[in-house]
Structure 1
Amino acid sequence: MSYRTSYSQPKSSLSTSKVKAKAKSSSASSVLASPTSLKISSSRFDSIPRGGGFGSKTGGKTAFAVAYSNGSIPCRLVTGTAKMALEWKQTFEEIDYESILPLCVEGLKEIAHPYFTVAKMACIELVSAEIAHETIPPILPEVIKRLREVMVTTSRSNLDAFATSLEFLIGLSNAVTESLTPHITLLLSPIAAEMMKAGSGRTSSAAKSCTKTPGGGGEINLKEKSLEVLQILEENGGEEAYEIIHKKIPTYSR
């Protein structure tokens, strides 16, 4: 929006210099009032997704975002000069995996900070805990249901979330081993779709930064990561897992 100010020839005794000074002052005030000029300093940040402030119930789109905002997720994001970390309010032995882990998996659908960041870090840490092999098997049906929803909904629109779901699946398989085998059929379709995409494979840049992998960071090739997932599922699930994978994805072989 542009602002214009017109002045008629002065009929009073005001001098020409005073009129010009008054016009300059009025023009400056108009510019300051412009909404566009007020946003110049922050406009470069407008496209960055962000959630509501801590304690806010706005900004997220899942039950995880609501739970994290009202303090039901027993952790908080701590940021430092070089990295971010989660600070847990409970030990892993005290955490209610039955309610917390499915919520964190659902949180992988989020795109706003801090929800997606917290969800992916929490997922990796929960399946990496020593107690995971005992606490997760009974709740696998619900975890797999939420994970499938994430993989299906993010494979096209949110590559970082899809990559994180693959990383989580690797950790989940390592935690529960053959207990996962009866459920893997539900997860093979989105993995197969990614592997069949033309070219050398799409890449994601964010997922690995929150894993336990030394030197995490850098890009993840989703086609290569999908193949790695299948290999881990087979390794932990044995012959039964291989038969299920090969039946769904005939191109997969040892």
Structure 2
Amino acid sequence: MASAKVDVVGGIKFARNGSYRLPTRTVKPSAETGSCFDTTRVGTRVAAPGSHTVTPSSASTGGFGAASSTSKPRTDKFLRRGMGTGGTHDAGLASTAARRRASGAAAASSAAPPRAGATRRRANPPTSALRRAYERGDLPVAIMQSVTNKLSWKVKVETLDLAHYLPLFCDGLREVEEPYRFIAEEGVYDLLLRSPLPKVLACVPVIVVPLKTALNTRIPSVIKRVLKILQTLVECGNLIGEALVPFYRQLLPVLAIFKNKKKNLGDAMDYRPDDGIGELIDETLEKLEVTGGPDAFVNIKYLVPTYESCIH
């Protein structure tokens, strides 16, 4: 049986008898456009924020000293009577010993251990509670597009449940994508500055974990953001600085790692002084000491040994 003749027009196959067949297309998921109508695709296995890589079980010990592995000497390699130099200087033996020392030092340097990577960036998956709430439409905020963008609150900030929304916005401080970063940073400032002091004081224990998670990402921009939030937090009232003292063990270890990352420009002019993370850490620790009461310096010194008191 002869097959019917087929005409192809615009990718559609038309048969002479009037029937047609649409081409089959494979639908591929498109990438996110960045609009507010997209949802973040979260995999089933996502690393925890600020997680550390597991150290391998077998570590090279060659770089921890000049010593090398030795084996049991053989008796046929021992010097016999008459084989020594008799106390005289032998240029051949001296050059051989020098070559052996050089080869041993090269082997020790080649087996040096890898860098610890304390300042290396950690995992920062897009799984913050703020991102999920914003994509669901659960946040009572909107972005006002202008010369300088602002947050427009749909309700009065003073009437919000601060114990629910403040940890939510603090969890978004580790975001580096827009508009989540802007919403988190501006939202935290609005909640801290426009809420009553008793409410802010009661929320100090519940925001320590989100702040610690953001600091553990080791991302310099995120660390600077959290440091400025801490400075604003302790400036809200005198009691807040004292309430943060028991939580120094969660917040200050990362600051001790980045404290010495300062720019040494010599006699040059620094036109962007706020870019130095070391200077910002010093400023934050000084404010913690001033507002933290009599026990603040002892606890800061325990976690940041290089810190010197600013109170004389």
* TM-score, normalization by structure 1: 0.66
CA contact (8 A) 1:55 1:69 kept: yes
Q: How far is 1:108 from its partner?
A: 1.4
How many aligned positions are there? 185
Of residues 153, 172, 190, the one that matches 2:254 is 190
> SS in structure 2 opposite 1:184?
helix
Amino acid at match of 1:66: R
CA contact (8 A) 2:128 2:171 kept: yes
1:140 alignment partner in structure 2: 204
Amino acid at match of 2:173: L
- In structure 1, how many angstroms separate the alpha carbons of the residues matched to 2:263 and 2:228? 22
- Tell which structure's C-alpha radius of gyration is larger: 2
Of residues 181, 188, 192, the one that matches 1:123 is 188
What do the CA deviations read for 1:190-241 (whole angstroms, capped 9, x no partner)? 111110347549xxxxxxxxxxxxxxx9843110000011011011112211
Of residues 273, 277, 281, the one that matches 1:222 is 277
Identical residues among aligned pairs (%): 25
> Are residues 227 and 95 of structure 1, via their aligned partners in 2, closer, same or farther at CA, if it must alter by over 3 Å?
same
Higher helix fraction: Structure 1 or Structure 2? 1
- In structure 2, how many angstroms separate the alpha carbons of the residues matched to 1:241 and 1:219? 25
2:55 alignment partner in structure 1: none
Q: How far is 1:144 from its partner?
A: 0.5
Q: Which consecutive unaligned segments of at least 5 residues does structure 2 have? A: 1-31, 42-125, 266-271
> Are residues 109 and 242 of structure 1, via their aligned partners in 2, closer, same or farther at CA, if it must alter by over 3 Å?
same
Q: How far is 1:107 from its partner?
A: 0.7
- In structure 2, how many angstroms separate the alpha carbons of the residues matched to 1:181 and 1:228? 17
Q: How far is 1:58 from its partner?
A: 2.4
Of residues 35, 39, 44, the one that matches 1:57 is 39
Q: How far is 1:129 from its partner?
A: 2.1
CA contact (8 A) 1:57 1:69 kept: yes
Amino acid at match of 2:152: E
> Are residues 117 and 242 of structure 1, via their aligned partners in 2, closer, same or farther at CA, if it must alter by over 3 Å?
same
Amino acid at match of 1:58: T
> Are residues 130 and 64 of structure 1, via their aligned partners in 2, closer, same or farther at CA, if it must alter by over 3 Å?
closer
2:228 alignment partner in structure 1: 167
CA contact (8 A) 2:227 2:284 kept: yes
1:83 alignment partner in structure 2: 148
RMSD: 2.3
> Are residues 197 and 218 of structure 1, via their aligned partners in 2, closer, same or farther at CA, if it must alter by over 3 Å?
closer
- In structure 2, how many angstroms separate the alpha carbons of the residues matched to 1:186 and 1:51? 37
> Are residues 219 and 104 of structure 1, via their aligned partners in 2, closer, same or farther at CA, if it must alter by over 3 Å?
same
> Where do residues 230-245 of structure 1 align in structure 2 (5 Å cutoff)?
230-245=285-300
- In structure 2, how many angstroms separate the alpha carbons of the residues matched to 1:194 and 1:145? 20
Amino acid at match of 1:97: L
- In structure 2, how many angstroms separate the alpha carbons of the residues matched to 1:97 and 1:178? 20
> Where do residues 93-132 of structure 1 align in structure 2 (5 Å cutoff)?
93-131=158-196
Q: How far is 1:88 from its partner?
A: 0.9
> Are residues 51 and 96 of structure 1, via their aligned partners in 2, closer, same or farther at CA, if it must alter by over 3 Å?
farther
Q: How far is 1:73 from its partner?
A: 1.8
Amino acid at match of 2:227: L
CA contact (8 A) 2:241 2:293 kept: no
